Amino acid sequence: MRVFVTGATGFIGSAIVQELVKAGHQVLGLARSEAALKTLAEAGAEAIKGSLEDLNSLKQGALETDGVIHTAFIHDFSKYAAAAETDKRAIETLGSALNGSGRPLVVTGGILGVRNDGSLITEDDPAPGFPRASETTALSLVESGVPASVIRLPPSVHDAGDYGFVPFLISIARKTGVSAYVGDGSNRWPAVHRLDAARLFRLALEKGTAGSRYNGIGDEGIPVREIAEIIGRQLNLPVVSITPEEAASHFDWMSRFITFDSPASSVKTREQLGWQPTHPGLIEDLSGEAYFN
């Protein structure tokens, strides 16, 4: 297949490009800059210049290929609602280009907060449509003939080069001199290795079913306290509990996520797509040097 990938030079997207090329697919990646164009060429992919805001480039990429993997998202949590709206428009544009063609669209969603009551999130649990509407927008396209599916990623997609949630917690610990968690820290985050996630995207593209939700979960639920304890050991900093009232000033934008208790299962995803995570879990990754160099 010739596959259009948005976010193709990002942390997750670059791994997906490598996975697709290795499996014999041709890749057309969306590139915002000359540096991105060069990176894609070095990865053995073609490139189209554009961005999420450039809807014409998204439409062109979708029209020129046999399927689409959408991973791009503007990770500015200070303007999260605006980023979510940009993402919604991008998915709608991709869908309009694929309408009636039978070509698959695989969209990235998030699993944190799908439920926040400590019960295990499964593929049967729908995500809320606000503020991020990736899942609801993608699945609404199925009614118009687009075989869309959603891969829901956990808050930690980890590997060397990670710049997401866990590195932010590490930077907060360095800045404040303590590695903190809220309350007793028993609330849990799921996680997955980046290379396992990349393989899941390929399998969803090749074998996915229209309207399906796939949970990209390796570790079902790691207590946030355990993450804080490893960060504290690695940085030789005290590990402390803070109150919910202190969380906003301590964790900044992360305070809205740090107390979520959202363990998740990928049992159905593994059964349906034959996916099996094989790379290290988050705790093993944090026990090494990659996150603390």
DSSP string, 180-232: EEETT---EEEEEEHHHHHHHHHHHHHH--TT-EEE--SEEEEEHHHHHHHHH
List CB contacts of 85: < 8 A, sequence separation 6 or more: none
**What is the Cα–Cα distance from 92 to 194, expressed in whole angstroms?**
26
**What is the Cα–Cα distance from 238 to 228, expressed in whole angstroms?**
10
In this predicted structure, what is the pLDDT of residue 89?
97
Residue 63's φ and ψ, nearest 5 degrees, are -70, -30
Place of tokens 């991008």: 90
Class of domain 2-156+192-219+263-279 (CATH, top level): alpha beta
In this predicted structure, what is the pLDDT of residue 129?
83
Q: Any idea what DSSP says for residue 147?
A: -
The domain spans of the chain are 2-156+192-219+263-279
Q: What order do you get walking across the sheet with 188-193 strand by strand?
A: 156-158, 188-193, 219-223
**Residue spans of the chain under pLDDT 70:** none
- The helix (run of H) or strand (run of E) holding residue 152 is strand 148-153
**What is the Cα–Cα distance from 125 to 114, expressed in whole angstroms?**
7
Residue 125: CB atoms within 10 A of its CB come to 16
In this predicted structure, what is the pLDDT of residue 144?
87
pLDDT tens digits for 53-62?
999 999 999 9
In this predicted structure, what is the pLDDT of residue 75?
81
Kindly give the residue spans of alpha helices, DSSP state H, lying in the chain: 11-22, 34-42, 55-63, 80-98, 134-140, 165-176, 194-207, 224-235, 244-251, 267-273, 282-287
Distance linking the first and last C-alpha atoms of the chain: 39
In this predicted structure, what is the pLDDT of residue 113?
83
List CB contacts of 91: < 8 A, sequence separation 6 or more: 70, 105, 107, 134, 137, 138, 141
Q: What count of Cα atoms within 13 Å lies in the side-chain half-sphere of residue 100?
A: 1
**What is the Cα–Cα distance from 8 to 118, expressed in whole angstroms?**
34
